[in-house]
Every structure is written in structure tokens, then in C-alpha cells.
């Protein structure tokens, strides 16, 4: 679960977009059809049924104990003794607490059984050995102990990282309850299932059937059969929630398709958002969007009140450099999770949210996150792309780093590319209290000395009739936590016939150039072309320094323990220009 702690002025009501069902129903490939119809549930809050609330209370109670372990109950005498012996062993208890903060991890005894002969060392074959299996939710770690009841001693202790023991019956029951109370399950099946209808729930995902390999959480997959299909419900027992649903075909001669968290997400994103363009029509806006192979999410054919505004807009690169080491950093492309040139990939669906101000909707956002697999661990990244569209015709092309990166001395430089509609556009810069047109391709750096109009505009892009947009760069005024962009702005002539970004662009510049060499200058130098009354592309490269100072975190993420398992707290650094209509639309 992510906890967003940045200060937003607006209240966002989020809607996860779905694939076009009419289009998908025409699909003849059943597996593709199943992928299209799968549901990712991004809401990280758990299902508030009494059993889950009781479970959380039990966890919190156990974490208060000096030995913070959820014990296995309903045991016979020997099992009880085995559990007690194990929990008195220092090595078995080695990973009960975070070694830095001394906060307790969530640990739970899953199984206690008479050890199999092959598990018992020769010297203890005549004893009465039991195996005790404990799971650590925070570290995704299994700790086992072979204990000898006869000698009241621990024979051996082992740790198996990134593994989970078979889950006990009561967790199976809990997973079933979570699954049957999930509204999306009822919706998918067409009725509310009973718990007895779920199959294979005692087969834990990490062993045979499926895994939550990205979150590294404990997951199980209750499965419901309906006619010739099986509905897999991936239940996350670390967070007590449903990760998503996916139908598979049953009864075929081929092997059963196994659904994991990664497969569920990747198949859905690839089929719904990478291979097809989605149309969005909302308020007075109409546009298309797609997740690209290397340029993040691209919006295109953007209309406001029936007028074409943008050809397209996207972020082509994220350059990250670290100041303590010359040339150290990364030039990240973001995009589709498979068969792409993306270093940081989409692992969730696009989201559309209302922008609420004073209780009413003043516009909406379209957002997409891209994340490294191990984020928020060091040297892993998470980027947010956001497009804001307002009822009054303003729009904003924005992005944010959600950390965490390789250090606290990083500078992020997202490279925005905004291709304007129209072939008679001119860009002017506010200078010496007047608008000065840029007659040729060039660039400019926003500095503390940069002049702005009284409204905060730095540029205007307009056609011969005077229609167009002011560009208002980020200076920390958007009340979204952003602290200013310190941006380079480049103007280039639009060349649909050249590889200058109308199609997907490969990475256009290295990580660590500290000056204007961020990539767009390649389309300007050495011979800048004329740019008056023509088709124009604006490039905007914000420069944002991260910060991990407590209370001032920026472009940062950190893990913290909640109920003994790790959560993520993020501090986004939002950047990007606002475009304001020169003439208000009628």
C-alpha cells in the first residue's frame, strides 16, 4: 500500500479506466479476452469485514508482546511444547525485530508437525522431533526450526528468504472470506459466491499456483469455477485485500494457465493500454491516450470544446544525476512492462480523477505511474505522469518523481515534449515588459531572474488570430507541493517526417549533463530553423533536486512499519507547466 503524504489542494476522486468492452468482446483469442476482462484493484484499503478487523486486532495485540509472534492455536501437547521450545531459541527469534528501529515485525507460526525422517539429523533420529515453521511478513522470510521434544532442545534453525510456508487453515478461511466479500468478485461471477465454492485456496501462491512477486506479499488464490472458466481471485494476506481478478479457460488439454500478480498486471496493461489506444471524453475535453514503449503515457488528438489543441504530449526521458560522482546517474525511459525500451515500467492502470475545488469539480486528471520492481528500495524509481484538464480550458502537463533513487543528492530532469496543433503558431517570450517572438529554434533557462507577466506567464504560443496559450512554468504556485521547476524550455520546428519525437523516441541524452544538453538541442543545433507562423513543438525540462531531510522530503520515498509489515510513504516532487488560454473559450 502506498501512502501519499504530499499536500494537495484538490481532493481527487479516482476512477480506474477499463478496456473498451465492446471492442474486447469481438476478440477471438480467449486468453487475450480474459486478459482484457481482468480487473486490477488498486485500492489499497482492506475489506472491512469483521473477520479482517478481528485479524488486525490480533496482529496489533501480538506486536505488543515481548515475543511478537502470532501463535498457532488448537495444538496438541507435543505441538504446544514444540512451539514453546522454538520461541525460546535466540536464533529462531533472530528476525522478530527491525534491527535499526527495534520495531517488531509481523511474525506468525504457520505449521508445527512431526518432522519427516529426512529432516532430522542422524544424532536425533531416536528423539521426538517436530518442525516449526514461522513466516515473517515484513521480510517475506520463512524461518524453520527442528526441535526435539525429548531433550527439550532446538536441533537446527534455518532461514529461507523470499519464501512462504503453507498457510494454516484459518488464513485459508480468511482469504476465502475476503474473496467472497469483494464486490468485483460478485460482479464478475454475476452472483455472490459462497465460501465452499472456492477451489485450491489452501494452495499458497508462492508454492504452486501463483505469486505476488512484485509486492513480495503473502498471497493465495481462491478460484471459482463458472461454466468453462475459472475466476482467479488473488488475495493479499499481508494487506488483507484483493489484488485483482482474472478468468482462465478450464477443460482444455493444455496445462492450466497460472495467474500471478505480475502476470495479471502485465497482461492487463499490455493488452488494454499498450497495444491499443483508449479514447477519453470528459467535460469539454476529448483525447486519446496510450502507454508507449519508451515515452511514458502519450496523450494525442486533444480537443477542447471541439477545437484541436494538441497533436500529442508526453515525457520522453527521465534524466537522473547524482552530484557526488561525476557522470553517475541514469537516463530512464518509461513505458510498457514488456517488449519495450522502458527502464521503469507501468505496473498499474491509468487513473482518471476529478479535481474538486470548493466542493465542485473544476476539471479532471489523467495519471499513470511507472515503477521499478523493488521500489522503494534504494536505486529503484517510481515516476508519476499527470495531465490536468480544466473546465475553463487550461491544461497542465505534469510529472513527478516518487523517489527513491540512489542517493539524497540527485537531480531529476524529466523531458516533456508538447506538440501543438496548428501550422501557423508563433512563440513569444515575456521580456522587458513585452512579448518578444522567437524567430528561430532556441532554448531558454528559467532562473530566479526570469521575468513573468503579472499573472506569472513566461511565454505565449499563438496563431495569427491571437488564439493560443500562455505558458506558466512551475514556481511552486500550484499548491501541489511543487517547489519550482528551474526549467529549460526549447522550441523546435515540427518535423513529422523525421525521427524527432512524433513517434516513440529512444533515450535522447545521457543522465548527467548539467547544462542545456538534455536532448532537444539535437533538433536545434547546428542550424536553427525559423519558427514564426509554423508548426511548433515545445520541450520543457524541469530540474528538481531531491531531499531526504526530515520534514522537507522531496522526490523521496521511505518504508515504514505498520502492523509489522512494510508500507511506503512517498514525497512527490511535481513539476510541469500550466497552459492558460489566451482568449477564454465561449
Q: Does 105 bind another protein (CB under 8 A)?
A: no
CB of 331 to another protein, least distance (A): 5
C-alpha cell at 169: 487453515
Which residue of 297, 344, 400, 427 would you call a contact of another protein, by CB under 8 A?
344
Closest approach of another protein to the CB of residue 345, in Å: 6
* Backbone dihedral angles phi then psi of residue 444, each to the nearest 5 degrees: -155, 145
Under the binding rule (CB under 8 A), the answer on residue 483 touching another protein is no
Q: Please count the residues of this chain forming the interface with another protein, following the rule CB under 8 A.
A: 47
Helix, strand, coil: what percent of the chain each, to 5? 15, 40, 45
Where are the strands (E) in 349-467, listed by range? 351-357, 360-371, 381-390, 395-404, 410-420, 426-431, 434-437, 442-445, 459-462
Q: Pick the binder of another protein from 503, 529, 530, 583 (CB under 8 A).
A: 503
Q: Among 165, 244, 337, 572, which residue interacts with another protein (rule: CB under 8 A)?
A: 337
Residue 535 sits in the site that holds another protein (CB under 8 A): no
- 203 belongs to the binding site for another protein (CB under 8 A): no
* Closer residue to another protein (CB): 103 or 380: 380
Question: What values do phi and psi take at 82, rounded to 5?
Answer: -60, -45
Whether the CB-CB separation of 547 and 499 falls below 8 Å is answered with no
Q: Nine-digit cell at 458?
A: 513566461
Do the Cβ atoms of 543 and 486 come closer than 8 Å?
yes
Q: How far is the CB of 507 from another protein (least distance, A)?
A: 4
Residue 89 is a binding residue for another protein (CB under 8 A)? no
Residues 6 or more apart whose Cβ sits within 8 Å of residue 33: 24, 25, 27
Q: How far is the CB of 3 from another protein (least distance, A)?
A: 23
Binding of residue 213 to another protein (CB under 8 A): yes
Residue 340 found at the interface with another protein (CB under 8 A) = yes
Tell me if 407 contacts another protein by CB under 8 A. no
Q: Which residue from 295, 332, 354, 548 is in contact with another protein, where contact means CB under 8 A?
A: 332
d(CA 49, CA 174): 10
Q: Of 479, 509, 165, whose CA–CA distance to 319 is shortest? A: 509
CB of 41 to another protein, least distance (A): 21
Category of 554 on φ-ψ map: left (φ > 0), alpha (ψ -120 to 50) or beta: beta
Interface residue with another protein, options 175, 336, 536, 555 (CB under 8 A): 336
- Binding another protein (rule: CB under 8 A), the pick from 170, 191, 339, 560 is 339
Work out whether 308 is an interface residue with another protein (CB under 8 A): no
Q: How far is CA 244 from CA 13, 173, 178, 192, 532, in A?
A: 20, 18, 12, 16, 51
Tell me phi and psi for residue 124, to 5 degrees. -115, 10
- Specify the stretch interacting with another protein by CB under 8 A; choose among 358-366, 370-378, 391-399, 564-572: 370-378
Site for another protein contains 132 (CB under 8 A): no
Q: How far is the CB of 427 from another protein (least distance, A)?
A: 29
**266 forms part of the interface with another protein (CB under 8 A):** yes
252 near another protein, rule: CB under 8 A = no
Query: The C-alpha cell of 332 is what?
Result: 530512464
Q: Residue 524 Cβ, how far from another protein at the closest point, in Å?
A: 19
- Report yes or no: 317 and 356 within 8 Å, Cβ to Cβ: no
By the criterion CB under 8 A, which residues form the site for another protein? Answer: 161-163, 206, 208-211, 213, 216, 258, 260, 262-263, 266, 270, 293, 325, 328, 330-333, 335-345, 372-374, 378-380, 406, 503-504, 506-507, 509-510
Amino acid at each position: 500500500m502506498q501512502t501519499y503524504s504530499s499536500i494537495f489542494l484538490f481532493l481527487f476522486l479516482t476512477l480506474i479506466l477499463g478496456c473498451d468492452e465492446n471492442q474486447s468482446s469481438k476478440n477471438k483469442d480467449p486468453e487475450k479476452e480474459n486478459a482484457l476482462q481482468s480487473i486490477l484493484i488498486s485500492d489499497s484499503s482492506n475489506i472491512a469485514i469483521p473477520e479482517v478487523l478481528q485479524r488486525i486486532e490480533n496482529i496489533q495485540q501480538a506486536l505488543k508482546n515481548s515475543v511478537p509472534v502470532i501463535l498457532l492455536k488448537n495444538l496438541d501437547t507435543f505441538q504446544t511444547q514444540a512451539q514453546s521450545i522454538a520461541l525460546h531459541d535466540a536464533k529462531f527469534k533472530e528476525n522478530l525485530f527491525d534491527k535499526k528501529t527495534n520495531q517488531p515485525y509481523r511474525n506468525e507460526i504457520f505449521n508445527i508437525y512431526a518432522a519427516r525422517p529426512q529432516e532430522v539429523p542422524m544424532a536425533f533420529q531416536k528423539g521426538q522431533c517436530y518442525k516449526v515453521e514461522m513466516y515473517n511478513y515484513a521480510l517475506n522470510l520463512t524461518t524453520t526450526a527442528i526441535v526435539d521434544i525429548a531433550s527439550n532442545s532446538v536441533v537446527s534453525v534455518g532461514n529461507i528468504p523470499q519464501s512462504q510456508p503453507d498457510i494454516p487453515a484459518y488464513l485459508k478461511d480468511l482469504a476465502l472470506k475476503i474473496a467472497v466479500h469483494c464486490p468485483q468478485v460478485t460482479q464478475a461471477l454475476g452472483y455472490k459466491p459462497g465460501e465452499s465454492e472456492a477451489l485450491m485456496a489452501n494452495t499458497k501462491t508462492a508454492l504452486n499456483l501463483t505469486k505476488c512477486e512484485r509486492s513480495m506479499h503473502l498471497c493465495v488464490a481462491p478460484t471459482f469455477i463458472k461454466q468453462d472458466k475459472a475466476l482467479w481471485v488473488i488475495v493479499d494476506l499481508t494487506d488483507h485485500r484483493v489484488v485483482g481478478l482474472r478468468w482462465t479457460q478450464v477443460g482444455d488439454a493444455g496445462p492450466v494457465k497460472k495467474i500471478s500478480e505480475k502476470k495479471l498486471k502485465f497482461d492487463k496493461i499490455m493488452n488494454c493500454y499498450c497495444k491499443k489506444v483508449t479514447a477519453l471524453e470528459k467535460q469539454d475535453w476529448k483525447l486519446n491516450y496510450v502507454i508507449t514503449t519508451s515515452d511514458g503515457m502519450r496523450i494525442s488528438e486533444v480537443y477542447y470544446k471541439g477545437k484541436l489543441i494538441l497533436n500529442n504530449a508526453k515525457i520522453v526521458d527521465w534524466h537522473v544525476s547524482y552530484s557526488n560522482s561525476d557522470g553517475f546517474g541514469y537516463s530512464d525511459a518509461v513505458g510498457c512492462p514488456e517488449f519495450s525500451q522502458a527502464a521503469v515500467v507501468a505496473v498499474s492502470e491509468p487513473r482518471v480523477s476529478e479535481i474538486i475545488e470548493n466542493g465542485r469539480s473544476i476539471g479532471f486528471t489523467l495519471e499513470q505511474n511507472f515503477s521499478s520492481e523493488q521500489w522503494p528500495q534504494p536505486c529503484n524509481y517510481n515516476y508519476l505522469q499527470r495531465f490536468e484538464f480544466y473546465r475553463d480550458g487550461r491544461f497542465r502537463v505534469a510529472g513527478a518523481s516518487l523517489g527513491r533513487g540512489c542517493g539524497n543528492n540527485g537531480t531529476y530532469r524529466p523531458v516533456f515534449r508538447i506538440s501543438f496543433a496548428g501550422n501557423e503558431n508563433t512563440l513569444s517570450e515575456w521580456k522587458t515588459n513585452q512579448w518578444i517572438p522567437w524567430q528561430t529554434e532556441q532554448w531558454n533557462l528559467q532562473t530566479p531572474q526570469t521575468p513573468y507577466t503579472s499573472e506569472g506567464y513566461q511565454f505565449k504560443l499563438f496563431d495569427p488570430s491571437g488564439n493560443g496559450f500562455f505558458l506558466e512554468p512551475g514556481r511552486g504556485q500550484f499548491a501541489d507541493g511543487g517547489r519550482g521547476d528551474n526549467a529549460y524550455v526549447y522550441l523546435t520546428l515540427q518535423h513529422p517526417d523525421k525521427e524527432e519525437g512524433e513517434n516513440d523516441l529512444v533515450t535522447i541524452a545521457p543522465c548527467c549533463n548539467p547544462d542545456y544538453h538534455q536532448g532537444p538541442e539535437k533538433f536545434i543545433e547546428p542550424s536553427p530553423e525559423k519558427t514564426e507562423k509554423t508548426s511548433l513543438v515545445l520541450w520543457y525540462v524541469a530540474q528538481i533536486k531531491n531531499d531526504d531531510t526530515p520534514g522537507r522530503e522531496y522526490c523521496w520515498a521511505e518504508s515504514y512499519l505498520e502492523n509489522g509489515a512494510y508500507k511506503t510513504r512517498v514525497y512527490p516532487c511535481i513539476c510541469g507547466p500550466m497552459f492558460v488560454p489566451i482568449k477564454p473559450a465561449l
